[in-house]
Structure 1
Amino acid sequence: MSTTIEDRLILLLKEDGEHHGYWQSLEEVTGISAQRWRKAFARRQRPTTDMFAAICKLYPRYAFWLATGITDAINGHVAPQTALTFPERLYAGSWATNSYFKQSLKLADKLYAEGNVDIEDEKQRMYAVERTQPLAHWIASPLLEKAYELSTSEEYKELQELWQQREQDRSELLPKSAATPTKQGETGGPPRTPILGYDNRTAHQSMFELFFRPEK
């Protein structure tokens, strides 16, 4: 049994939760009370689906890890520094990737808002999102027309530009993650002297390596 999704939510909140005013700011951006966030953090209540949805939108780079417990770091799906990850070990994210995720979420919300979908109506939500296959081909909902309309917007152009930057970041990260560093440690320089707060067990690996590599 690995960690639970509740455990992972607490680890995520712990990354910023000790900052002054964090819980109040979390309430302001999610619409969920600071008291509920504190209770979930202290395990005094189980987090609800609206809390998970809100935290995934706020931290999209952590959403895959939060749901599954694993990362896909090369593609920007990382974990907070407060969590041990395995089988991948890479934490390095990308500004462009995270911005791409956030812009995608913004456009997805805009599709439903401008498509006049009543998000409180279950039937409308399902009708708007569902594709059907009455005969040989898939047919999308009427929102498809709005999707094409939004694809001509400046916001959509920005999304495509962010994707290009994300791919550039990814192409630069891949060689670093695949390379085998020298035994001297992450910098290739002289052996490190252990210092307070530094975990010497990782000294033989580069901070950009994707996988665990036992020291020989």
Structure 2
Amino acid sequence: MSIEFEIRVELVIDELVASVRALGGRGIWTKLESLTGVKRQAWKNVHERRQRPTTELVAAIGKLRPKYAFWLVTGITDAANGHIAPSTATTFPERAHLDDPWSERYFESAIEFKDQILADETKTHDDVRRALERKEVFSHWWDSELATKIYGECSSQSYSAVRKAWEKRNQERQHHLKKLFQNAESAKAHKLGVTDPRTDHQHPYFLFYESRHDDTKD
């Protein structure tokens, strides 16, 4: 496990802690254990750099904040599709920290459905492997027996929620993309308080880094 990866885990936990404290909340570690099943001491130890993140803790972060999961594993973001980083992290080559509520809802509903489907399939390592693995039969890929169960849930409320979230996400896509390419004029409205002079020429939601324009060279 690389130092860079471990720091990404720490940055997500930092944001979780800050969000609870901002609301005047206490008992963050107990709350995280209640939400994820990962022991409170493990969360606290990773936060305080007393232990390295476990696979269970990393998986728990992915479920708790699916919008960060892609960045957590790869170190890059894909803001156009809702894969962002916490506000505690500097990102590159993209710079935007713009939430996409419908992408987030799609991720959450898809994870909920996935957990529902796998609820009775996760007894042992072999059980999970059989549930997830496809087989090549005479040059064609066959799904596992899980496919039968999934088809049986096609009309369920939980699967309907997944599809509706995906449809709404795509309906709102152009509006979301427009925010990611706001021009320099719109950045001026955000120069309130103490801003970072290195970045205040760009709107905070602008997707890519662009150098400051030098008017003296025109």
Question: So what's the TM-score if we normalise by structure 1?
Answer: 0.89
RMSD in angstroms over aligned alpha carbons? 1.8
Determine the structure 1 residue equivalent to 2:28: 22
Q: Distance in 1 between matches of 2:152 and 2:191?
A: 56
2:212 alignment counterpart: 215
**Structure 1 gap ranges (5+):** none
Q: Among 201, 204, 209, which residue is 2:201 paired with? A: 204
- Which amino acid is the alignment partner of residue 12 of structure 1? V
Paired amino acid for 2:54: T
Match of 1:170 in 2: 173
1:135 match: 138
2 CA distance for matches of 1:53 and 1:201? Answer: 35
Contact 1:3 1:69 in 2 (8 A): no
CA–CA distance in 2 between the matches of 1:178 and 1:3? 33
Partner letter of residue 139 of structure 1? W
Give me the whole-angstrom Cα distance separating, in 1, the residues matched to 2:91 and 2:109: 26
Q: Measure how far apart 1:95 and its partner are.
A: 1.6
Residues 113-153 of structure 1 deviation map (CA, whole Å, 9 limit, x = unaligned): 2xx31x23111111111001120211111110111111111
Aligned mates of 1:24, 1:145 — CA distance in 2: 38
Contact 1:173 1:208 in 2 (8 A): no
Query: Is structure 2 residue 55 aligned with structure 1 residue 49?
Result: yes
1:170 CA drift (Å) = 2.1
Q: Which amino acid aligns with 1:151?
A: C
**1:83 aligned to 2:89?**
yes
Give, in angstroms, the shift of residue 33 of structure 1: 1.6
The share of aligned pairs that are identical, in percent, is 37
Partner of 1:159: 162
Whole-angstrom CA distance in 1 between matches of 2:167 and 2:105: 12
1:79-136 deviation per Cα after TM superposition (whole angstroms, max 9, x unaligned):
00000001001111122111110110111111112xx31x231111111110011202
Secondary structure of 1:133's match? strand
3-state SS of paired residue (2:171): helix
Report the Cα distance in structure 2 between the residues aligned to 1:173 and 1:105, rounded to whole angstroms.
Answer: 22
**Equivalent-residue separation in structure 2 for 1:112 and 1:171 (angstroms):** 34
Q: By how many angstroms is 1:178 displaced?
A: 3.1
Aligned pair in 2 of structure 1 residues 112, 16: CA closer, same or farther (>3 Å)?
A: closer
TM-score in terms of structure 2 length: 0.88
How far apart are 1:179 and its partner, in Å? 4.4
Work out which of the residue numbers 94, 109, 113 in structure 2 matches 1:107.
Answer: 113
Give 1:208 deviation, angstroms.
2.3
Cα distance, 1:76–1:192 mapped onto 2, change above 3 Å: closer
In the comparison of the two structures, how many residue pairs are matched?
Answer: 206
Partner SS, residue 85 of structure 2: coil
Q: 1:192 to 1:109 in 2, by over 3 A?
A: closer
User: What amino acid does structure 2 have at the position aligned with 1:157?
Assistant: S
**Secondary structure of 1:138's match?**
strand
